């Protein structure tokens, strides 16, 4: 071992460096590929849910993809809200989510587009909502009202039950 010259030691160090670099590149590429696959699955799942909700919007003006969630603290889940403008004119519609009772405020766990949207007659719109359960949220069942609003007037309402624990 003592007979190794400076050139051999430099060669070994370079070879190990290239090996580590190669493994790192392969690992990064594989992780990106996994993210792309997961994203593609999410996009396909969303398209399928939108197609189902679109069919349900033929009979209704307001639908929610899921009305019951069971989540652990620190976890989250997404859902879709479908809206159809039944008016013969453009309408400015919005969504509000409020708690039906209890200590947990909807604004603390729901993320969604709160700004009003202008919908053309007979058009449909799909919004993504997200429920994020804080680490300190007590176990229990919580009921929230998802409201379709036109100005200050509530047009329709759906309930979402969130079970934590």
* Residues 44 and 104 occupy one common structural domain: no
In this prediction, residue 162 carries a pLDDT of 93
Residue 145 banded pLDDT, cuts 50, 70, 90 = very high
Are 7 and 52 within one domain?
Answer: yes
**Residues 79-138 pLDDT 10s:** 888 899 888 889 999 999 998 766 788 888 998 888 898 999 988 888 888 899 999 888
Query: Does residue 51 sit in the same domain as residue 81?
Result: no
Domain with 67 in it: 61-164
Q: Angle at Cα 147 formed by Cα 145 and Cα 148, nearest 5°?
A: 165
The answer to whether residues 66 and 55 belong to one domain is no
Same domain, 72 and 19: no
Residue 161 near residue 68 (C-beta atoms within 8 A): yes
Looking at the predicted structure, is the pLDDT value of residue 151 above 60? Answer: yes
Considering the domain architecture, whether residues 73 and 154 belong to the same structural domain is answered as yes
Q: Among the three residues 29, 59, 89, which one is the final residue of a domain in this structure?
A: 59
Please tell me the predicted confidence (pLDDT) of residue 37: 46
- Residue 35's pLDDT is 53
pLDDT for position 161: 92
> Considering 38, 59, 80, which residue would you say is the last residue of a domain?
59
Residues 94 and 124 in one domain: yes
Give 28's contacts (C-beta < 8 A, 6+ positions apart). Answer: none
More confident residue, 48 or 154: 154
pLDDT of 6 strictly over 70 = yes
Q: What is the CATH number of the domain that holds 149?
A: 2.60.40.10
User: 79 with 146, same domain?
Assistant: yes
Q: How many folded domains does the chain comprise?
A: 2
pLDDT at residue 29 in the model: 67
Q: Closest by alpha carbon to 105, among 141, 78, 148, 142? A: 142
80/160 same-domain check: yes
């Amino acid at each position: 071992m003592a007979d190794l010259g400076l050139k051999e030691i430099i060669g070994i160090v370079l070879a190990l460096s290239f090996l580590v670099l190669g493994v790192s590149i392969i690992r990064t590429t594989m992780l990106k590929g996994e993210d792309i696959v997961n994203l593609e699955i999410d996009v396909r799942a969303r398209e399928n849910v939108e197609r189902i909700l679109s069919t349900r919007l033929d009979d209704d003006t307001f639908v929610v993809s899921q009305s019951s969630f069971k989540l652990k603290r620190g976890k989250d889940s997404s859902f879709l809200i479908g809206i159809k403008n039944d008016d013969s004119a453009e309408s400015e519609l919005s969504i509000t989510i409020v708690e039906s009772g209890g200590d947990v405020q909807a604004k603390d766990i729901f993320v969604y587009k709160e700004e009003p949207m202008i919908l053309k007659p007979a058009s449909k719109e799909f919004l993504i909502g997200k429920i994020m359960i804080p680490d300190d949220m007590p176990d229990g069942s919580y009921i929230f009202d998802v409201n379709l609003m036109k100005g200050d007037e509530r047009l329709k309402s759906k309930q979402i039950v969130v079970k934590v624990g």
